[in-house]
Chain A
Amino acid sequence: MGPYDSAVSTGSTTSSPSSAAKPSEIDGLLAGAGYKVRSTELHQVAQRLERLETVMVNAPSEISQLASDVLHCNPSDIASWVDSMLVEFNPPVSIPSDLSDFSDLTYIDSVVSPAINQTVCNNSWVEHHTPQQQQQELTHQLTVVTAMEEDSGIRLVHMMMTCAESVQRGDLPLAGSLIEEMQALLTRVNTGCGIGKVARYFIDALSRRVFTPQALCPTGWSNENEILYHHFYEACPYLKFAHFTANQAILEAFDGHDCVHVVDFNLMHGLQWPALIQALALRPGGPPLLRLTGIGPPSPDGRDSLREIGLRLAELARSVNVRFAFRGVAASRLEDVKPWMLQVSPKEAVAINSIMQLHRLLGSGPTRVSAIETVLGWIRSLNPKIVTVVEQEANHNQSEFLDRFTEALYYYSTMFDSLEACSLQPEKAVAEIYIQREICNVLCCEGSARVERHEPLAKWRNRLGAAGFRPLNLGSNAFKQASMLLTLFSAEGYCVEEHEGCLTLGWHSRPLIAASAWQPIQDPVINHNNLL
């Protein structure tokens, strides 16, 4: 076998003469190029491409303009992409004339897009992965972007890895002495930026784990955390991207509905919602009745902080003539929320919005039923129009400490590197504390205290698929607007990418945060059973 006989590709084998291609097998060589085409459909896809070419030849000057206006979805699925192009170009579509009136309002572009685009998007064929493909996707990918030059930086990394390894082996004395050595080395390194800064935080985390394991990890959902969150929101575009992308998808899902209900799994200061309220206000045909249910921790000082935020949002809604109702649900943990608390009405279109919350449900106690399965189950029972999920694109839930440490080192190095581009103070400094809290939780906590159990998109796809959800594609519109948002607000180096209908935002080619949208697969047996 030569070096290139086993094609570097995901998915199943190419159709060979000796084995009949199973209907669900995709062409392995095209898979390696990033495309999913079933082996048995190659001829059909080729025919459609020919048709598309013929059609395009007949409309040469309009093509690029039409291409800009069309909503593209999931380019990996060539068959459906070609079909969506065919629908656009043949017969020619007349674009509604009122599009031009809203050209300066970014949200409206997506809502006013011709109905055709939406149906094309929602009908796109959904791939059901073969077990082999699932296995491939679960293979841990370790992405690294390096800009390190200093030798002492490299020495520090070397020592950190050795220290993490000894922690894993249980050799705490060795770990402890390494930590002391590293802290000495830190004094001779620039810890204000680059590898020095990252090292400082990771050595600190190692030190906590080794010397003060009994100290309580600061867990999320406290007042302090809201302030940290707000600064993180300002200092870098990750949360803005999350909110923006989720809002875009929710807006599209609510199209045509007069009563809509958004359930936010972590209200914080409600930063996500003013933009959605304003976009709904400008909807052609008028805004719907909007209900927002915000989940958050109970306030320690007796204030009803959820209600305060609700009141501020209500004021905003009133000022733009959107009928609005708010409900706060106080819970220390997401798994303590019961669906009846959300008071979802069967007549409403529901959107469930989870920004970096689902991973907190992945820790399992010895006898507890899996929290994630419970929550996904009741989400499904609410029959939402859309579930927007944003998660860190990282594998921080591995059981082996060294694996977690390595992954976290690469992930947060990249994130810190991106933060260098920020010049706002004190936002940048406080954002670092926010990130530090996360790092400590990933590395220092175990069991139910460890809530930062990030998992990559591939794993979430499997979980959500297994729980009865199908993906809704975030299309080229969301992509383009996310890219434009980045050029407006952020430094060069951030990149938005599309992966099978989901969008990721990363720094220098390493994705750091992933946004996706889902809908329950309709089960013919239990489709009337919406509420518990």
Chain B
Amino acid sequence: MAGSNEVNLSESKRVVPLNTWILISNFKLAYNLLRRPDGTFNRHLAEFLDRKVPANANPVEGVFSFDVIIDRSTSLLSRIYRPATGEEALPSIMELEKPVTGDIVPVILFFHGGSFAHSSANSAIYDTLCRRLVGICKAVVVSVNYRRAPENPYPCAYDDGWAALKWVNSRPWLKSEEDSKVHIYMVGDSSGGNIVHNVAVKAVESGIEVLGNILLNPMFGGQERTESEKRLDGKYFVTIQDRDWYWRAFLPEGEDRDHAACNPFGPNGKSLVGMKFPKSLVVVAGLDLVQDWQLAYVEGLKKAGQEVKHLYLDKATIGFYLLPNNDHFYTVMDEISNFVSSNC
């Protein structure tokens, strides 16, 4: 590493609460140990270090969860979170897949983050986040345990997302009473945000209706080094070097970061003009070094005539939505709630 990239620890400590700083720094340092210079990944240690929680069919604070197998051939699991109605004394298997009640019940297809390599649907941080989403949006949340890089690079995560979308769309018990259709929103953070975009494209091409996309600090990039990347490199938990590693791990061999998966509105991107693409909410953290790419994504959607709301959070770092101890967290949760409840 160049000598000028001195690690500026005190800066990041000033802008986030102490427990958040500990959480994200712990991830950062642990992840440094897992990425090998030769591009391989210490998966055993990653799974050992990852804090996981089991599903719980007993409601906890109004939400219960259970895991389903969507595709045995790829061991694709998803964790389903549902609001407890309070009627069931003891959840039995019928309660788990009982038809949703309500004229309109949003179903959120959730893709966890982790730069395509880390975390799982049963990671504690994402289990917590999904439970919150149930309460905030009065929704059923389906969290997809997609296959990860580098063992399963592009397009595995997208394929799994697509399989999950088709599965959700075809569940009779997820249909809203008003129109007997499943009301689907897709939410994802970091790599999950990237997956949301790519699955949405497939959905539009295949005629499955997605009502909205929510991308939290989505993971996009490109060959060029943008101003935000250079300015913020190493300052707030993330480095250009680690971003490069994850893209190399995910993208096909020989491809660079202008591949459409990484840079959807770049030189190899596909035009969305004329497509009935879902409305999007894109949340950008002002201290995230890839924000220029995220802003480029927003611009790309606008230029293609697509509806997009851009929420820029000045002093937010990555992972701000993991702990409910800052204003940005509450701002975003309100926005998400409004986005999902406003049905045009």
Once bound together, how far apart are the Cα atoms of A64 and B97, in whole Å? 44
CB atoms of A141 and B322 under 8 A apart: no
Q: List 14 A-B contacts (CB under 8 A).
A: A14-B325, A27-B19, A29-B323, A33-B124, A33-B125, A34-B53, A46-B22, A61-B37, A64-B33, A64-B34, A145-B77, A157-B93, A410-B57, A510-B55
Cβ distance B171 to chain A, nearest Cβ, rounded Å: 11
Q: A8-B61, A33-B322, A60-B1 are in contact. Are A67 and B45 (CB under 8 A)?
A: yes
**Complex Cα gap A483–B49 (Å):** 14
Partner of A406, one of B51, B52, B90: B90
Q: Which of A48-56, A96-104, A263-271, A462-470 contacts B (4 or more CB under 8 A)?
A: A48-56
Q: Does A234 contact B (CB under 8 A)?
A: no
**8 Å CB contact of B67 from A68, A146, A148:** A146
| Residue A449 interfacial (CB < 8 Å) | no
Check A42 for interface membership: any CB of B closer than 8 A.
Answer: yes
B47 surroundings in chain A (CB, below 8 A): 479, 483, 495-497
Residue B223 is within 8 A (CB to CB) of chain A in the complex = no
Complex: A339 Cα to B223 Cα, angstroms: 71
Contact B1 A34 (CB under 8 A): no
Question: Do B26 and A146 touch (CB < 8 A)?
Answer: no
Quick one: given A33-B323, A54-B7, are A143 and B22 in contact (CB under 8 Å)?
no
Residue of A nearest to B5 (CB): A57
How many interface residues does chain A have, given as a range? Answer: 35 or more
Interface membership of B338, Cβ < 8 A: no
A126 interface hit (Cβ, 8 Å): no
A residues whose Cβ falls under 8 Å from a Cβ of B: 2-9, 14, 27, 29-30, 32-35, 37, 42-43, 45-46, 49-50, 52-54, 56-57, 60-61, 63-64, 67-68, 72, 75-76, 78, 82, 85, 139-148, 154, 157-158, 161, 402-403, 406, 410, 476, 479-480, 483-484, 492-493, 495-498, 508-511
- Considering only CB atoms and an 8 Å cut-off, how many residues of chain B contact the other chain? 65
Using known A-B contacts A30-B19, A63-B32, A67-B45, determine if residue A144 contacts B26 with beta carbons closer than 8 Å. Answer: no
Nearest residue (CB) in A for B132 is A4
Shortest distance in angstroms between B323's beta carbon and chain A's nearest beta carbon?
5
Contacts of B37 in A (CB 8 A): 61, 64
Decide if B22 touches A402 in the complex (CB within 8 Å): no
Hey, what's the 0/1 contact readout for B106-133 against A, CB within 8 Å counting as 1?
Answer: 0000000000000000101100100110
Complex: A498 Cα to B28 Cα, angstroms:
20
A143 contacts B56, CB within 8 Å? yes
Q: How far is the CA of A54 from the CA of B53 in the complex (A)?
A: 31
Report the minimal beta-carbon distance from B96 to chain A, rounded to whole angstroms: 6
- Further contacts, 14 of them, CB under 8 A, given A42-B22, A141-B58, A495-B47: A4-B324, A7-B324, A8-B131, A33-B51, A46-B18, A50-B9, A64-B33, A68-B45, A157-B92, A158-B92, A403-B90, A476-B45, A484-B44, A492-B75
Check if B135 sits within 8 Å of A4, measured CB to CB.
Answer: yes
| Bound Cα distance A3, B131 (Å) | 10
Q: Chain B residues in contact with chain A, CB under 8 A?
A: 1, 7, 9, 13, 18-19, 21-23, 25-26, 28-30, 32-37, 42, 44-45, 47-49, 51-58, 60-61, 66-69, 72, 75, 77, 79, 90-94, 96-97, 122, 124-125, 128, 131-132, 135-136, 322-325, 330, 333
Say yes or no: B55 contacts A72, CB within 8 Å. Answer: no
Residues of A within 8 A of B60 (CB): 8
Which listed residue, A33, A140, A410, touches B128 by the CB 8 Å rule?
A33
Looking at the assembled complex, report how far the CB atom of A162 sits from the nearest CB atom of chain B, in whole angstroms: 9
Q: Known contacts A37-B22, A157-B92; is A145 also within 8 Å of B69 by CB?
A: yes
Interface residue from B7, B35, B67, B96 paired with A510 (Cβ < 8 Å): B67
| CB-based contact B35/A145 at 8 Å | no
Q: Which residues of A contact B330 (CB under 8 A)?
A: 2, 4
Q: Tell me, in angstroms, the Cα distance from A476 to B58 when the chains sit together.
A: 31
User: Considering only CB atoms, which chain B residue lies closest to A402 in the complex?
Assistant: B90
A3 touches B136 (CB 8 A): yes
Bound-state Cα–Cα, A180 to B26, Å? 58
* 4 A-B pairs with the lowest CB-CB distances in the bound complex, closest first: A34-B51, A34-B124, A67-B33, A3-B135
Q: When the two chains form the complex, which single residue of A34, A49, A68 contacts B52, counting CB atoms closer than 8 Å? A: A34
Contact in complex: A4, B136 (CB < 8 Å): yes
Q: A73 to nearest B CB, angstroms?
A: 10
The answer to whether A43 and B18 touch across the interface, beta carbons within 8 angstroms, is yes
User: Is B94 a contact of A158 with CB atoms below 8 Å?
Assistant: yes
> A33-B322, A145-B67 known; A154 and B93 CB under 8 Å?
yes
- List B contacts of A402 (CB < 8 A): 90
Task: Known contacts A33-B23, A52-B29, A64-B42; decide if A146 and B56 are in contact (CB<8 Å).
Answer: no
